[in-house]
Structure 1
Amino acid sequence: MPDGRVYQAVADAFYEEGVRTVFGLTGDGNMHWEAALSAKPGVRSIHVRHEHAACAMATAYAVATGEVGVASVTCGPGLTQLSTALATAVQARVPLVVFCGEDPIDASWYNQRIDHGAVVNATGAIYLPARSPRLAVHHVLEAFLTARSRSLPVVLTMPLDMQQKPAAQGAVAYVPSRSIAPKTGPRYPHPDAVKAAAERIRTARRVVLVAGRGAKAAGAVEACKRLAELCDGALSVSLPVRGLFNGHPRDIGVSGGFAHEAAREAFGEADLIVAVGTSLTQHTSDLNLLFRPDQVIQIDADPPVMKHGQVTATHHLTADARLAVEALCAELGNGQARASDWDVEAYSRRVHSEPPDSTEYAVAPGVFDPRDVAAALSAHAPKTWAHVGSAGHCAYFATHLYGREADNFLTIREFGAIGNGLSYAMGRWAARPDQPVMLTEGDGGFLMHIQELETVVRHGMKILICIFNDGAFGSEIHKLRADGVSDDGAIFGFGDLAGIARGFGLDGHVIGDLDEIPELAAAFEAGNRSALWDFRVSDQVMAPTMRRAVGNRR
């Protein structure tokens, strides 16, 4: 390689930012940069078969590690392929830096030319075009600072010919973004706000504490448990941190549309919700069916105030989640528990022992009830495996796998897009290659990026893919049927998914009896290959969220 080129200086800057894992698909616009970065000590490049997968993998990697995820694609079609994955990362507020080539500055025509800024801006990501060799490295710093400070993806683009220009000479040593980002420290609660929130808690009869990602990030778990004990409250979580209170006798599982029947009863009895570090989307309140904004005290360092078109709460305690909850505990008596008139632990026992949905369905011979599949996986898949939950109709059923810590669960569902699951599982594996990953996915979503099975095998990943295979796009068939419209366009049959997996080099099994799971799980854990388990499930069984949705359509 010629020395002293812009692409080399930019690769050096990424390395100084601490980038050691990059997900990409090589093309003209990024190949020299990628080669320069990959040549550095300790850098791992995971080369994919579709650009979408690179961005989605980087998203899951960022969520799992707390670092800025890094992906790389070429210009034009390389960038346009990212749109759905970028939009999902934006909605989930995941910090990424995507290094993208751009058409040559000095070319009068280029067959991959497109308005990159329009594409990136349409997704909600931040478009950062580099046009000067002298400022190229500065733009790397700008990209990482912006991604970290705003928790958003940044697409850093550089023209192909500019990358080959001589790098600026005599530049000062690169200072990574982490070194110069403001160190503000946690935000302390105002004493008056603490007193007001504590008074509301004292006068409430039945309290449910709902913790989200902000509570996990702030290290507020133990303080939340203490607060629940002081007010005899229940502990719940938003879906992304499922398992945050794993094993606690007050844990009633996830809030929102995926809540267990017993949890829904507990929310129905509650007169106060203390929301800790959660943005209170309408998913979390199940469109206000679980609780209303006027029932909520929201604890957050930067409360959104409005989310999904509504005011999130009528009372706020603006502060770092841990410091705020600890201050509330001190104000409420510093150890003196308060009695209430409900049995919180009974709700918790029901959540962890009873089926999450008791609605009866006629299930035809030869297929499983997806609720039974989830229960079997919950019972027999080792709790030490990471679990990645995908989107789609199957997501409700796979939510109810219990006994797993929040650090071992990952889901990114904010954009409502299927087809990301396999890539997210691969990104989660890249964050912890020593830990097997179990992906729960629908057949429709899985087939959208099936080419990445080759990437799984090539990189020696250990991923168990559990397909809830209803032979259809599950959400669509239920809506079409409810509307009295033919569902033919959403049905495509079970297919030979296990055979396809074997063709790529994985182990593939069509599960005929749920009693096979313990033996198969032991074999997977002892082996060194990825595997696919095809569970053929009934297309008659509807998740409660779908039942409520189609019920409103009639």
Structure 2
Amino acid sequence: MKAYEALAEAFVKEGTSDVFGMMGDANMHWMNALAQRGVRLYEVRHEGSGLGMADGWARTTGQPGVVTTTSGPGVSQLATSMVCASRARTPLVAFCGETAWGDEGATQYLDQRRFAAAIECEFVHLSRPDQAEEAVQRAFYLARTESRPVMLSAPMDIQQGTVEDADEYVPSTALLDRPRLLPDPSRIAAACDIIALSKRVVIIAGRGARRAGVGEQILGLQQRTGALLATTLQAKNWLCDRTEFHVGLSGLFGSKLAMELLQEADCVIGVGASLNSYTTEAGYLYPDAKYIQIDTSPHLVMGNGSVADCYIQADAVTGVTELDRALEQRAVRIEGFHTEEVLHRLTEPLQAPAEYLSELGLIDPREAIRVLDAELPGEIGLVLGSGHQVDFGTMLFQRSREVLSNYGMFGAIGQAPLLAIGQVVANGGKPGFVVEGDASFLMHLPEFETACRYELPLLVVVMNDEGLGAEFHKSAAKGLDPELALIPTPELGQVAVALGGGGATVRTIEELRAALAEYVRAPRPTVIDIRITRSVLSVPYRRLQYGEDV
């Protein structure tokens, strides 16, 4: 068989079911071979967008996502999305065609090895046809074991070479031997010593805990230690429907109540959470606390620049189970935060502003988020973008639902709708929604047409202030001209209809409710363009720019 056929067969045996990307001379034979083997191909409008979709697919499934490009310019288009995926530690394999090996005079020649290093991904090169299977196995092995993107670069002439019949392909999963990582008993004992002397314990659950499915064990440990349960941004709202003593997010995006309660902690137990500067407010949030950290990494430095007082290297399930068992043997049981007074504060309904800001034809973004959370069923997953207008949703969405946040991943706007498309594909076409700003959505507008073409029931909610919201408010705070950050936008609801989907531009709460009801009744690719006022500043920006917390 041809090398490109062997490559395609190996991808299938690695579990590849969906591939995102654009076809060109250097990957078209491979893509045809995949299609013949039943793989679903999603042709996108920009290669970087395809990588963003593969990123969302991988974050949802926990398996390596796959993107493909042709040689040279197709590869160079990956830059921003690749760095985002790398910073998010997403397992990905990018099958990138390459010009004929050694032909540096080719129009589309690019030193793809050097480029891969610059955009923070691993690199595997196919240098002989008979190495096709080995190259695929290595790429997937690196993606799985290092949890990062890998570029598999395949020259056009090598792909056309002939491969002799080989032994049965061994997928990278067969090479993985991952027994549970057992914690050091002395570290467990040291953690117990810290907890036994504590009066106010906080458990912070991160993305690693959520992926490990350690919820039951965390709830048991919480009960024993009287702990408040907080989450990182990447695990927002996880377990909020399972415990009354859930305080929401830890860090900049936490509520004022969360800030007040978490300041009282004298012990913080981090589970599958890096305890970065977002989560710990650069060390200011837990001034008197000792830290216990459970993570699979050999070592982590926290966001306050220090290491934990007790670091336990273990998988989340085993680490939490062993810690809870050791505490039980010592008969440790702490009332902690589990008091009527704390419960009363936590269960008080969120207070809406005394009155929402009313401007003609514009909606208060806080009210818009409240309506979205109420009207969209909890089984509809959410992807949160980045930027000022998304801060409202990052703080105020309260319903228990699957949440994927793109905050802090290279600080690149525009990625969230791409992640959301990948998430919908990964979830078998179940409805999902994404909340983004207008500049962010317009950056990759053509990909809404991709969602329409494949009939993906994605709802894009655009918090539209007709400008670069973050820069508008930062400019005002720094004494610069905020008007320079304003960019008028067309009626995005009509644009969505023109691209083949559903759409509405809404300027009142009644219009928003009607548009949401239409989507819930018959989910399909839809854009709801919510025209919001620029006169409301989000709480995180009040904290960062003015030192206020109101």
Which TM-score band (shorter chain)? over 0.9
In structure 1, C-alpha distance between the alignment counterparts of 2:61 and 2:294, rounded to whole Å: 25
One-letter code of the match for 1:58?
A
- How is 1:25-36 mapped onto 2 (pairs within 5 angstroms)? 25-36=22-33
| Partner SS state of residue 72, structure 1 | strand
Q: CA deviation at 1:467?
A: 0.8
CA-based RMSD of the aligned residues comes to 2.1
2:16 to 15, 19, 27: 19
In structure 2, C-alpha distance between the alignment counterparts of 1:108 and 1:201, rounded to whole Å: 62
Alpha carbons 2:10, 2:136 under 8 Å: kept: yes
In structure 1, C-alpha distance between the alignment counterparts of 2:310 and 2:185, rounded to whole Å: 15
**Mind listing any 5+ residue stretches in structure 2 that lack a counterpart?**
none
| Partner SS state of residue 263, structure 2 | helix
Alpha carbons 1:293, 1:314 under 8 Å: kept: no
In structure 1, C-alpha distance between the alignment counterparts of 2:345 and 2:100, rounded to whole Å: 63
One-letter code of the match for 1:446?
F
Count of residues in Structure 1 that have an aligned counterpart in Structure 2: 542
In structure 2, C-alpha distance between the alignment counterparts of 1:199 and 1:5, rounded to whole Å: 63
1:458 to 453, 461, 469: 453
Residue 318 (1) aligns with residue 313 (2): yes
Q: CA deviation at 1:18?
A: 1.2
- Per-residue deviation, residues 95-153 of structure 1 (Å, max 9, x unmatched): 00000011112535211112212221112111222111121221111000000000010
Do the aligned partners of residues 312 and 83 (structure 1) sit closer, same or farther apart at CA in structure 2, a change above 3 Å counting? farther
1:163: which partner in 2?
Answer: 159
Do the aligned partners of residues 293 and 186 (structure 1) sit closer, same or farther apart at CA in structure 2, a change above 3 Å counting? farther
1:306 to 293, 301, 309: 301
Alpha carbons 1:436, 1:525 under 8 Å: kept: no
In structure 1, C-alpha distance between the alignment counterparts of 2:354 and 2:268, rounded to whole Å: 27
2:436: which partner in 1?
Answer: 441
1:145: which partner in 2?
Answer: 141
Do the aligned partners of residues 176 and 514 (structure 1) sit closer, same or farther apart at CA in structure 2, a change above 3 Å counting? same
Alpha carbons 2:295, 2:315 under 8 Å: kept: yes
One-letter code of the match for 1:26?
M
- Per-residue deviation, residues 343-368 of structure 1 (Å, max 9, x unmatched): 44234324x6335xx69996533222
Residue 194 (1) aligns with residue 192 (2): no
In structure 2, C-alpha distance between the alignment counterparts of 1:172 and 1:70, rounded to whole Å: 25
Q: CA deviation at 1:517?
A: 4.1
1:419: which partner in 2?
Answer: 414
In structure 1, C-alpha distance between the alignment counterparts of 2:485 and 2:376, rounded to whole Å: 31
2:509: which partner in 1?
Answer: 514
Does 140-149 or 264-273 show the bigger shift? 264-273
2:61: which partner in 1?
Answer: 65
Alpha carbons 1:133, 1:165 under 8 Å: kept: yes
Alpha carbons 1:279, 1:304 under 8 Å: kept: no
1:475: which partner in 2?
Answer: 470
Q: CA deviation at 1:431?
A: 0.7
Does 300-309 or 195-204 show the bigger shift? 300-309
Does 299-308 or 84-93 show the bigger shift? 299-308
2:117: which partner in 1?
Answer: 121
Does 291-300 or 172-181 show the bigger shift? 291-300
2:36: which partner in 1?
Answer: 39
In structure 2, C-alpha distance between the alignment counterparts of 1:249 and 1:309, rounded to whole Å: 29
One-letter code of the match for 1:219?
G
In structure 1, C-alpha distance between the alignment counterparts of 2:358 and 2:63, rounded to whole Å: 45
Does 22-31 or 285-294 show the bigger shift? 285-294
In structure 2, C-alpha distance between the alignment counterparts of 1:481 and 1:499, rounded to whole Å: 32
2:178 to 181, 184, 194: 184
Alpha carbons 1:380, 1:517 under 8 Å: kept: no
Residue 88 (1) aligns with residue 79 (2): no
One-letter code of the match for 1:31?
M
One-letter code of the match for 2:55?
T
1:7: which partner in 2?
Answer: 4
2:231: which partner in 1?
Answer: 237
Q: CA deviation at 1:506?
A: 1.5
Q: CA deviation at 1:279?
A: 1.1
Do the aligned partners of residues 292 and 200 (structure 1) sit closer, same or farther apart at CA in structure 2, a change above 3 Å counting? same
- Per-residue deviation, residues 399-442 of structure 1 (Å, max 9, x unmatched): 2212223xx22123321110112111100110113421111111
Do the aligned partners of residues 24 and 336 (structure 1) sit closer, same or farther apart at CA in structure 2, a change above 3 Å counting? same
Q: CA deviation at 1:308?
A: 5.8
Do the aligned partners of residues 439 and 33 (structure 1) sit closer, same or farther apart at CA in structure 2, a change above 3 Å counting? same
In structure 1, C-alpha distance between the alignment counterparts of 2:342 and 2:201, rounded to whole Å: 10
- How is 1:301-380 mapped onto 2 (pairs within 5 angstroms)? 301-306=296-301, 310-333=305-328, 337-340=333-336, 343-350=341-348, 353-355=350-352, 364-380=359-375
In structure 1, C-alpha distance between the alignment counterparts of 2:114 and 2:503, rounded to whole Å: 42
In structure 2, C-alpha distance between the alignment counterparts of 1:482 and 1:16, rounded to whole Å: 55
In structure 2, C-alpha distance between the alignment counterparts of 1:37 and 1:293, rounded to whole Å: 57
1:131: which partner in 2?
Answer: 127
Does 117-126 or 539-548 show the bigger shift? 539-548
| Partner SS state of residue 71, structure 2 | coil
Alpha carbons 2:356, 2:367 under 8 Å: kept: no
- When normalised by structure 2's length, the TM-score is 0.94
Identity %: 32
1:404: which partner in 2?
Answer: 400
In structure 2, C-alpha distance between the alignment counterparts of 1:544 and 1:237, rounded to whole Å: 18
- When normalised by structure 1's length, the TM-score is 0.93
2:210 to 204, 213, 216: 216
One-letter code of the match for 1:20?
S
Does 373-382 or 99-108 show the bigger shift? 99-108
Alpha carbons 1:285, 1:292 under 8 Å: kept: no
In structure 2, C-alpha distance between the alignment counterparts of 1:119 and 1:544, rounded to whole Å: 39
Do the aligned partners of residues 190 and 461 (structure 1) sit closer, same or farther apart at CA in structure 2, a change above 3 Å counting? same
Q: CA deviation at 1:398?
A: 1.3
Does 65-74 or 364-373 show the bigger shift? 364-373
One-letter code of the match for 1:513?
T
Alpha carbons 1:103, 1:159 under 8 Å: kept: yes
Alpha carbons 2:20, 2:51 under 8 Å: kept: yes
One-letter code of the match for 2:465?
D
Do the aligned partners of residues 437 and 68 (structure 1) sit closer, same or farther apart at CA in structure 2, a change above 3 Å counting? same
One-letter code of the match for 1:327?
E
Alpha carbons 1:294, 1:313 under 8 Å: kept: no
- Per-residue deviation, residues 476-517 of structure 1 (Å, max 9, x unmatched): 111111221123332102431111111111211122322344
